């Protein structure tokens, strides 16, 4: 009897399981070690709600900025085929730098640009560090590449002939963009925005370096988690749990509905 | 080119490790890891140099960070052999977990100072100025020793400070002062001294904070760990700490 065999070599299951364990077991440990009995009282502290509220608000603002600025950048990149190879490749690599840069380095770079004595900051009539604006800027810096890469990938994969057809039928460039191009890449935009939001929510290094840490103003959930770990590990674990639940909920809840592209 | 130079460096490092003389019988040997408070970074680098002269068989790695964070790491099982903390409370967390071998010993004291950028652009002259909301101020978070000490200092002076950021360790405060992002920060005398011309210090009337050191019971190399603690407590160690601005215990 002929049986269809899986194309996967069985030996691959071993490293694959190890990889899965490495990714998931730390989260299991967090759940096991969580102080479930005291969790409600730990999370009822006003400081927790404050940090969570600040994190959600700044991450949402950062995602909006990424959408506003990142989609045009992705469009420029996707249509750069006619450019000479060197500037095109250079631009594409530079955009990805924040992805691999240690976030603390990003924070230092932001200080040197926008700090009180920074290249630009020196000339500004107001000071950016230690404000919620600085938190948003740090989050945009680290999460923008996710959006640009997701949208650019979707644009490259989309069928340009539909746009051409629309143009031949008399649609203006803006109409083509609004009615054809953007709806075509909507899943890419959604997945990019999702990654932006969760990455912003977890941002720590660039934020504490550039924006500092003050309760209610710049102390986001990851920062208060880190500080609590020094004195009250139980509370820190509780906060970690909150961050994890929010992140996983965002990923799971939105993925199936909006994102058949990058994430699924 | 860079890769070649790097490979050369690695080879050179290996060669010197191989060429290391074997210690005389009975002398401590092997490797130890010392967890030291952020404010001890500079002076412990010097102490390790001097310790190596006396104990060529021992390799010392110093891990520098906020004391409270280091204490948490030790309690969670980090493989450290010696812990030097920036206040007795942080050391107590490790001792109470039963992880110190023997009682911790005070080996130095430190005092707080206000650090300002060169030229003092914020015109800060005394502790009262740190209550001015118009000025930009960095303090250590109250969870870490320099923050706890600063909180006591302000409480004793009856001043409510108006900080713009609570940093995670004393070095982070110093960096924000050095970069000119804040008008003033509260750090240790030793940090101001180590920063050289990058910051200026303003004296404040602060109580000295004791720095305790202890060998850790989980050490896999207790002989070398004890030897290192003894060296820090010796006249030679004392001198190095004194040069860095630490007071006698």
Determine which of A206, A230, A239, A240 to mutate to test the interface with B (most B C-beta atoms within 10 Å).
Answer: A230
For residue B23, is it within any domain? yes
Chain B residues whose CB is inside 8 A of the A117 CB are 179-181
pLDDT of residue B140: 94
Domain span at B143: 112-203
Integer Cα distance of A224 and A238 in angstroms: 11
In the predicted model, what is the mean pLDDT of residues B166-182?
Answer: 90
Q: Is residue B248 part of a domain?
A: no
A77 Cβ neighbours under 8 A, 6+ residues apart: A91, A92, A95, A148, A152
Rounded Cα distance between B88 and B104, Å, is 9
| Facing residue for B72 by CB, picked from A211, A215, A233 | A233
Which pLDDT belongs to residue B241?
A: 96
CA-based R_g, chain A, Å: 22
Cβ-Cβ contacts under 8 Å, A213 against chain B: 141, 165-168
Contact: B143, A231; criterion CB under 8 Å:
yes
| Any domain includes B249 | no
* Total of domains in chain B: 2
Helix H, strand E, coil C: the string for A101-154 is CCHHHHHHHHHHHHCCCCCCHHHCCCCCCCCHHHHHHHHHHHHHHHHHHHHHHH
Give the separation between CA A95 and CA A108, rounded to whole angstroms: 18
Q: Which CATH code for domain A41-254?
A: 1.10.3720.10
Question: A214 and B66 in contact by Cβ < 8 A?
Answer: no
B198 plus B130 within the same structural domain = yes
Contact flag B180-A115 (C-beta cutoff 8 Å): yes
Enter the tokens of residue B208: 């000295």
Flag whether B86 is in a domain.
yes
Please check whether residues B196 and B116 belong to one and the same domain.
Answer: yes
Kindly determine whether residue B163 and residue A214, on different chains, have CB atoms separated by under 8 Å.
Answer: yes
**B213 three-state secondary structure:** strand
| Closest C-alpha among A250, A246, A253, A251 to residue A48 | A246
Nearest CA in chain B to A214: B165
* Neighbouring residues of A41: CB distance < 8 A, sequence distance ≥ 6: none
What is the average pLDDT across B191-213? 92
Of A116, A130, A208, the CB nearest to B168: A208
Please check whether residue B152 lies inside any domain of the structure. yes
Using CA atoms, how far residue A8 sits from A1, A5, A244, A264, in Å, is: 20, 8, 32, 20
Q: Is residue B157 part of a domain?
A: yes
Using the Cβ of A218 and the Cβ atoms of chain B, whether some distance falls under 8 Å is answered with yes
Q: Is B116 among the domain residues?
A: yes
Nearest CA in chain B to A112: B179
Q: What is the CATH number of the domain that holds B40?
A: 3.40.190.10
Q: For B119, left (φ over 0), alpha (ψ -120 to 50), or beta?
A: left
Query: Looking at the complex, does the CB of residue A115 fall below 8 Å from at least one CB of chain B?
Result: yes
Q: Domain residue spans in chain A?
A: 41-254
pLDDT band at B15 (very low <50, low <70, confident <90, very high): very low
Nearest to A111 among B138, B165, B181 (CB): B181
Q: Which residue has the tokens 């999370």?
A: A43
Do A212 and B136 lie within an 8 Å CB cutoff? no
Which pLDDT value is given to residue A59? Answer: 97
pLDDT above 60 for B41: yes
Cα–Cα separations (whole angstroms), residue A9 to A2, A12, A22? 18, 6, 21
CATH of the domain at B174: 3.40.190.120
First-to-last CA distance in chain B? 50
- What is the number of CB-based contacts under 8 A between chain A and chain B? 59
Based on the domain organization, do B199 and B176 belong to the same domain? yes
> A111, B179: Cβ pair inside 8 Å?
yes
DSSP B39: G
The verdict on B104 and B116 lying in the same domain is no
Question: CB distance from A214 to chain B under 8 Å?
Answer: yes
- Nearest chain A residue (CA) to B178: A117
Buried b (16+ CB within 10 A) or exposed e, A219-257: bbbbbbbbbbbbbeebbbbbbbbbbbebeeebeeebbee
At B147-170, the pLDDT tens digits run: 999 999 999 999 999 999 999 888
Query: Residue B148's closest chain A neighbor by CA?
Result: A231
Tens-digit pLDDT profile for residues A179-217? 989 999 998 999 899 989 999 999 999 999 999 999 999
| CB of A105 less than 8 A from some CB of B | no
Q: Quickly state the pLDDT bin for A219 (edges 50, 70, 90).
A: very high
Mean pLDDT score, B25-41: 88
> Given CB atoms, is A195 within the 8 Å cutoff of chain B?
no
């Amino acid at each position: 009897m002929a049986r269809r065999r899986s194309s996967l070599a069985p030996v691959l299951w071993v490293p694959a399981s190890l990889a899965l364990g490495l990714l998931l077991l730390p989260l299991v440990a967090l759940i096991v070690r969580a102080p479930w009995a005291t969790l409600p009282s730990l999370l009822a502290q006003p400081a927790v709600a404050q940090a969570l509220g600040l994190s959600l608000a700044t991450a949402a603002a950062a995602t909006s900025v990424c959408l506003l600025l990142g989609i045009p950048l992705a469009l420029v990149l996707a249509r750069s085929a006619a450019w000479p190879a060197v500037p095109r490749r250079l631009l594409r690599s530079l955009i990805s730098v924040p992805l691999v840069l240690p976030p603390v380095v990003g924070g230092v770079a932001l200080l040197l640009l926008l700090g009180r004595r920074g290249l630009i900051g020196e000339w500004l009539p107001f000071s950016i560090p230690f404000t919620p604006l600085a938190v948003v800027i740090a989050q945009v810096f680290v999460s923008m590449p996710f959006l640009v890469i997701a949208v650019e990938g979707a644009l490259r994969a989309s069928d340009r002939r539909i746009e051409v057809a629309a143009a031949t039928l008399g649609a203006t460039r803006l109409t083509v963009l609004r009615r054809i191009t953007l709806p075509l890449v909507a899943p890419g935009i959604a997945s990019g925005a999702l990654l932006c939001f969760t990455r912003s929510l977890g941002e720590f290094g660039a934020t504490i370096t550039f924006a500092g840490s003050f309760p209610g103003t710049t102390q986001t959930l990851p920062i208060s988690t880190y500080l609590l770990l020094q004195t009250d590990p139980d509370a820190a674990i509780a906060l970690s749990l909150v961050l994890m639940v929010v992140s996983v909920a965002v990923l799971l809840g939105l993925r199936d509905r909006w994102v058949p592209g990058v994430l699924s | 080119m860079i890769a070649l130079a790097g490979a050369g460096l690695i080879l050179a490092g290996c060669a010197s490790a191989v060429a290391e003389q074997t210690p005389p019988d009975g002398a401590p040997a092997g490797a130890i890891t010392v967890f030291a408070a952020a404010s001890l970074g500079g002076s412990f680098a010097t102490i390790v140099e001097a310790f190596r002269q006396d104990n060529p068989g021992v390799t010392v790695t110093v891990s520098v960070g906020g004391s409270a964070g280091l204490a948490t790491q030790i309690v969670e099982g980090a493989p450290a052999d010696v812990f030097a903390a920036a206040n007795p409370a942080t050391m107590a967390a490790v001792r109470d977990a039963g992880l110190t071998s023997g009682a911790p010993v005070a080996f130095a004291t430190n005092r707080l100072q206000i650090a300002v950028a060169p030229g003092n652009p914020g015109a800060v002259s005394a502790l009262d100025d740190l209550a001015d909301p118009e000025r930009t101020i960095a303090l250590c978070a109250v969870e870490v020793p320099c923050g706890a000490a600063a909180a006591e200092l302000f409480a004793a002076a009856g001043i409510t400070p108006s900080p713009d950021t609570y940093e995670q360790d004393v070095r982070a405060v110093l960096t924000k002062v050095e970069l000119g992002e804040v008008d003033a920060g509260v750090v240790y005398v030793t940090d101001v001294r180590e920063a050289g011309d990058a910051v200026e210090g303003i004296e404040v009337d602060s109580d000295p904070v004791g720095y305790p050191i202890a060998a850790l019971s989980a050490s896999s190399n207790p002989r070398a760990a004890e030897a290192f603690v003894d060296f820090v407590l010796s006249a030679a160690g004392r001198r190095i700490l004194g040069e860095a601005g630490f007071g006698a215990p």
